[in-house]
Amino acid sequence: MSRASIFDLLHQRQQPPEPVEEISSARSDYRVDRLRLLDCVALTASGFVGAGAVPAVQSPALSPSLHGPDGFRLLVHRVADVTPIQEPRLSRLEAKALRLHELIQTIVIEALMMLEALPEEAAFDVVLTAPLRSPEATAIVVERLRAAIVETQYASALGEIRHTARGGDPHTVVDVGDNGGMPYVLWISADSLLNEADVAALQHRRVLDRSSNSPGLYAGEAVAALLIQRLLPEDADFDAGWRIDTGIVRDHPARSAQRDHAKRQTLLALLKDAWPASDAASDADEARGADTPVDGASTAPARVVIDAMGLPGRAVEIGSALIERWPEIDMIDDGAGVDQFCGWPGEAVTAMALVLAMAPLSPLDSAVVIRVEDETRSTVWSLRSCAAETAQGEDHS
């Protein structure tokens, strides 16, 4: 899908406006365990991803400059449609700073378009996640991002622009801490591993895929933007968006040292904790000895996204656990692997997984994101439809 077509698609979306709120100053009493995801967009080697638009997966292509230890060119996922930028200082300061800057600047317009759904004059912060280590390079990238926003109608609503080098848990990334922050936050996350240093790091970890038939990760790149609402303790029900609670985390023995059954049981227990069935459905299922509710309505998520399906043993581990937990899920139609979609996007992987989870959902659908790239830790985040929860609450009242 071309950039022009996704731009038009995003522009034409009709979203219900948020209720008008009179919040004009930073606050520090937001909940640390819950966020509301309102919208998202991403740029990948497969094209632009946005609400209602997920392009077909593109196969990796041979890199013109990157080679494996055997001397052969590597297969990589490179974003083709990036706006070239002349900023020679960035290249001198840090190896991949210019590429990150280009990715960020390319997504800015689509990211700002998502702000149209917010209440008039609603204030927002920007959190930029990009693995920039040079203070000088970071300052240039942040200031160029600020300049791009200031040139729009959202200049007066812009709060803080904060940079963090690491991705990870979204609650931690957008947390305001003691300094406070605005009620809405635009989280922009970018990374590119298409350079010798990052490829060498993947090789050192022994996770790099060196051919089309071997297990492992392809070096990739991506940039994602998510519009998120920080929630106050008094915030209750919403008619739109997706609730993201704190991820459920399990530390466990190294995957490579466990048998398939043990790995499956560990992930299965994690999925049950992260996505418990409703009380009514659980009671009925227990009485029937089944995993499907008596009324035939599925309690499974409509979408499952995994970060690293290509690593050795992950497909068996995840597939067997999902089949046992939700036998009705078809991973071909209802699932996606971030690494299979856009290669391994480094620090942008969590943001990219959330985009791939939300993009195809209807307002009443929910999803789960499973992170299994780490050898000794697994994490599951759930995206719960606010509209579905509100409707369920009204039915029970």
Cβ burial, residue 355 (10 Å; 0-12/13-18/19+): buried
Token code pair at residue 313 = 């043993």
3-state secondary structure of 20: coil
Encoded tokens for 356: 């791939």
- 191/132 Cα distance (integer angstroms): 9
pLDDT at 335 over 90: yes
Distance CA 188, CA 57 (A): 22
Taking the C-alpha atoms of residue 4 and residue 256, their distance in angstroms, rounded to an integer, is 45
Q: For residue range 336-349, what is the model confidence (pLDDT) as tens digits? A: 999 999 999 999 99
Residue-level pLDDT at 69: 80
Q: Residue 253, SS3?
A: coil
Q: pLDDT grade, residue 129 (50/70/90)?
A: very high
Q: How confident is the model at residue 162 (pLDDT cuts 50, 70, 90)?
A: very high
In angstroms, the CA 118 to CA 92 distance is 39
Say if residue 223's pLDDT is above 90: yes
Give the mean pLDDT of 100-113.
Answer: 96
Confidence band for 108, pLDDT divided at 50, 70 and 90:
very high
Half-sphere exposure in the Cβ direction for 390 (13 Å, CA)? 14
Distances (CA, A) of 321 to 209, 220, 267: 24, 27, 6
pLDDT in tens, 17-29: 454 444 457 899 9
SS3 at position 345: coil
Identify whether the C-beta of residue 36 lies closer than 8 Å to the C-beta of residue 386: yes
Looking at per-residue pLDDT, the higher value among 241 and 19 belongs to 241
pLDDT > 70: percent of the chain: 86
pTM, 2 dp: 0.89
Both tokens assigned to 223: 């940039």
The predicted model gives 390-395 an average pLDDT of 71
> What is the per-residue pLDDT for 70?
80
* 151-155 own/partner pairs: CB under 8 Å, 24+ apart: 152/112, 154/112, 154/115, 154/124
pLDDT value at 188 more than 50? yes
Cα–Cα distances (Å) from 77 to 2, 49, 217, 220, 380, in that order, read 17, 15, 10, 5, 25
Hey, how many other C-beta atoms are within 10 angstroms of the C-beta on 122?
A: 21
Cβ within 8 Å of residue 180, ≥6 positions away: 25, 26, 27, 28
The angle, 0 to 180 degrees and rounded to 10, between the axes of the packed helices 260-274 and 314-325 is: 50
Query: What is the model's pLDDT at position 106?
Result: 96
E strand residue ranges, the chain: 34-44, 47-50, 61-67, 73-76, 124-129, 158-164, 184-192, 221-230, 242-245, 248-251, 303-306, 335-337, 367-371, 377-385
Whole-angstrom distance, CA of residue 219 vs CA of residue 96: 14
pLDDT of 295 reads 35
Strand partners for 223: 43, 190
Which band of pLDDT confidence, cut at 50, 70 and 90, is reported for residue 7?
Answer: very low
Q: What is the pLDDT of residues 259-306, one digit of tens each?
A: 999 999 999 999 999 998 763 344 334 433 444 443 333 489 999 999
The string of DSSP codes covering 116-148 is: GGSPTT--EEEEEE-----HHHHHHHHHHHHHH
Predicted confidence band at 213 (pLDDT cuts at 50, 70, 90)? low
Q: Which residue reads 């790239």 in tokens?
A: 373
pLDDT reported for residue 296? 33
Q: What sign for the dihedral angle of Cα 236, 229, 368, 250? A: negative
